[in-house]
Amino acid sequence: MRWLLFTLFLLLFEWYAFQALKTVTQNRYWIGFYILLCVSVLGFFFWQTMTFDRTVGMTRGFTYGIGFFLSLLVFQLVVILILFFEDIFRLPQALYSYFVEGMQKEGSHMPGRRKIISQIALGLAAIPFASLLYGMYRGKYNYKVLRYALEYEDLPEAFDNFTITQISDIHSGSFDNAKKVNYGVDLINEQGSDVILFTGDLVNNTADEIMPWINTFSKLEARYGKFSVMGNHDYGDYMRWDSEEEKEDNLRRLFDAQKRMGFDLLLNESRYLEKDSSRIAIVGVENWGENGFKQAGDLHKAVANIQKDDFKILMSHDPSHWEAQVLPHSFPFHLTLSGHTHGMQFGIEIPGWFKWSPVQWRYKQWAGIYEKGQQRINVNRGFGFLAYPGRVGMWPEISVITLKRKTKDV
């Protein structure tokens, strides 16, 4: 029944948007092409959705079904919004014509659509439509290196100009271009950072997804090592497993994959990085998120072996953890590194001036650096992509953070 109602709604949606094209042209080839496009996209989407198998997870066909459907849907939504505003003015005219002039007027009382309005609707709708298609073709591998310099008065002097490369949300099960992924990995290495920190979501669902990419990510190098934490997708919670033992085996194989790639996986643990008789603490918690996401993170356990006055860098996948538990904690965390939001893989950003994405209606900290008092968080936009197989505006990110010792005011 739900599928029937959804289908009827989509058909009504399609019919309404079609009015713009019909107003602009009567060319049967253009009309036929549009109808064929809609039928193909919707048919492919329904086929992928109806045959989706939770024991397999998101296949490439399924994600592209989502991508093409979303592109068409956004195109039609823009058209419908503009036509709707036109209808706000057409309807009163029709009512006036019917009730006041009805006795004298023959035929339809509804004024015809203006061609210029439909042309504007189609022109404006083409912008996000083309952007979403570009995001699927090129945007998903349009890696950007974003650099931040953060000053701290209590940073040990030996760690002045210490560099961190943060990556997040690899989602290896979504990759479909080995050459581009290798380029991204080489770009990470080109930064020559002291340490590489990966903040979770290595896979979409299963450990099998990372197996073809182990050699690729094994190439990552940093003088002080590579550290990682778990993201919500790494636990296999979004799959249907034949048994709990199978799910646990998948998790063990994921742990092994992290080790084979050279990552030190922190499961509510901490490590010290030492330099010239000074040290800073790297703390890693398991995933902790609000609104139904897994809450395996144990911050108290993670800091059990470090001191309160240590300089601390916390890796926590979900940025909602920051305000919920990190800021109120008795230990101050100088820098928290998160991911998870992907910047919704869609948005508008003018560096240093303006950024917007629908994801900001869900997360207060969703992309870039945020500060509260002496504590900061960086929310990485993610290295990979999920569901929609592309990125528009919120490009895949490699964060390079330079720690600087701030001179205390005399």
Residue type, 30: W
Domain of residue 125, residue span: 2-137
> What's the gap between Cα 294 and its chain centre?
18
pTM score of the predicted model: 0.91
CATH of the domain at 380: 3.60.21.10
Residue 118 belongs to some domain of the structure: yes
Under 8 Å CB-to-CB from 73, ≥6 apart: which residues?
A: 13
Q: Are residues 380 and 290 in the same domain?
A: yes
Q: What is the pLDDT of residues 253-302, one digit of tens each?
A: 999 999 999 999 999 999 999 999 999 999 999 999 998 999 999 999 99
Exposure letters 90-109 (e unless 16+ CB within 10 A, then b): beeeeeebeeeeeeeeeeeb
Least-confidence region, from 341-345, 359-363, 405-409: 405-409
Q: Measuring CA to CA, how many Å separate 393 from each of 72, 263, 360?
A: 18, 30, 14
Q: What is the pLDDT of residues 39-62, one digit of tens each?
A: 999 999 989 988 887 777 788 889
Q: What is the pLDDT of residues 212-235, one digit of tens each?
A: 999 999 999 999 999 999 999 999
Residue 410 belongs to some domain of the structure: no
Cα pseudo-dihedral 66, 170, 370, 326, rounded to 10 = 110
Tally of CB atoms within 10 A around 2? 6
Q: Are residues 102 and 147 in the same domain?
A: no
Q: Are residues 111 and 219 in the same domain?
A: no
Residue 309 belongs to some domain of the structure: yes
Q: Are residues 237 and 353 in the same domain?
A: yes
Residue type, 37: L
Q: Are residues 199 and 251 in the same domain?
A: yes
Order of strands, sheet of 335-338, starting from the edge strand that comes earlier in the sequence: 269-275, 278-284, 312-315, 335-338, 375-379, 368-372
Beta-bridge partner residues of 278: 275
Cα atoms found within 13 Å of the Cα of residue 406, Cβ hemisphere only: 10
Q: Are residues 100 and 148 in the same domain?
A: no
Residue 399 belongs to some domain of the structure: yes
